[in-house]
Structure formats: structure tokens, C-alpha cells
Amino acid sequence: MGKLGLTEILVILVIIVLLFGGKKIPELMKGLGTGIKEFKNAAKDGDQPAASKKPTQEENKL
């Protein structure tokens, strides 16, 4: 019961396409990718001590 088969995955994809439309899906995936990238960067920065962090471009502008 815990595994999704090919049929279930296809049904889910069809529902997503119907809800969001074909044009909106690439925008959603781009936003999701950006969010994951920012999360990874924040997690990586959290591992470093504050003194050893390199200033970002935004911090240099200030």
C-alpha cells in the first residue's frame, strides 16, 4: 500500500496539469528549484562559524 505504481503517478501528473495548466508548471518548477538551492546554501552557511564566513555580494554593497 505504501508504494506508488505507474498508474497512480500518471493520475497525479494529469491532475497537476489540469489544475495548474501547461504554462504554469515550468514556473512552479523554477521556483521550487530556487527554493531548494537557497535552502542548501542556508544549511551550508549554518555549518560554518560566523567569523569564517565570506561576505556575500549583497553584504559588500552595504
Whether the pLDDT of residue 38 is over 60: the answer is: yes
The 10s digit of each residue's pLDDT in 3-17 is 889 999 999 988 988
| Of 20, 26, 34, nearest in space to 12 by CA | 20
- In one-letter notation, the amino acid at residue 47 is D
pLDDT band at 52 (very low <50, low <70, confident <90, very high): low
CA–CA dist 2, 44 (Å, integer) = 32
pLDDT band at 57 (very low <50, low <70, confident <90, very high): low
pLDDT band at 30 (very low <50, low <70, confident <90, very high): very high
Instruction: Let me know: does 25 contact 13? Beta carbons within 8 Å.
Output: no
